[in-house]
Amino acid sequence: MIRVAVTGAKGRMGSTVVAAVNSAPDMEVVAELDAGDPITAESVRGAAVAVDFSVPAVTEANVHALLDAGVDVVVGTTGWTEESYARVREHAEAAGRAVLIAPNFAMGAVLAMKFAALAAPYFESAEVIEMHHPGKVDAPSGTAVATARGIAKARAEAGLGQMPDATQTDELGSRGGRVEGIPVHAVRLRGLTASEEILLGNEGEQLVIRTDSFDRVSFMPGVLLGVRRVSGRTGLTIGLDQVMGL
């Protein structure tokens, strides 16, 4: 049995993780921690792996505390920067532990990001639209940022230049934010859970890759996969695809 601690355990995602782990035949939750609870070797109660679904403001601090507590960490909280990645990478390597940070644990979203990167070199234009419930605190989503970065990397490796866009004025920011040159648009709408559309265009054709999560349980197979595969690694791994053999 894999002993698991969950931080952010009382939140919407955290409570879903607790239920999913306890329902899995090969793992069990041994510690449920939330805001205000100390993260120490004692409070994780012998966990081998911790799952963090807290909030962006505290997730990095949680990961450092969990590494100090001697556990490997799977992170679903978004809002990470290159600087925070670097700090966690250095800490994990020094501690001889593993951290897996995934912008999305839904299998559809992970595959959509992969498909978008594969398709990107063959299209002149690409844009990303992410759509979430109005309770989400960060924008754009970590999934959209990762998707855009993957597209930009694939385009750069293919030697593609800037995308066609004759816009000269955009006082309202209607063209979206730019992630490494890729426009990213964020929608916050009551009734949504999590959706993403990746639009790729050429003269006379369009490819649309769309993924929808209708319930938080859609993320649980990916979370459980991460828990099973994080141990035995060292340092920082970014993206569930890295442990899926993609």
| Cβ-based neighbour number of residue 123 at 10 Å | 19
Active site residue 133: no
**Angle in degrees, CA 146, 151, 156, rounded to 5:** 125
Active site residue 10: no
Among 114, 132, 133, 153, the active-site one is 132
146-149 — which CB contacts under 8 Å span 24+ positions? 146/103, 146/104, 146/113, 146/239, 147/112, 147/113, 147/116, 147/196, 147/198, 148/179, 148/180, 148/182, 148/184, 149/179, 149/180, 149/182
Cα 196 versus chain centre, distance = 13
Among 10, 114, 133, 136, the active-site one is 136
Tell me the catalytic residues: 132, 136
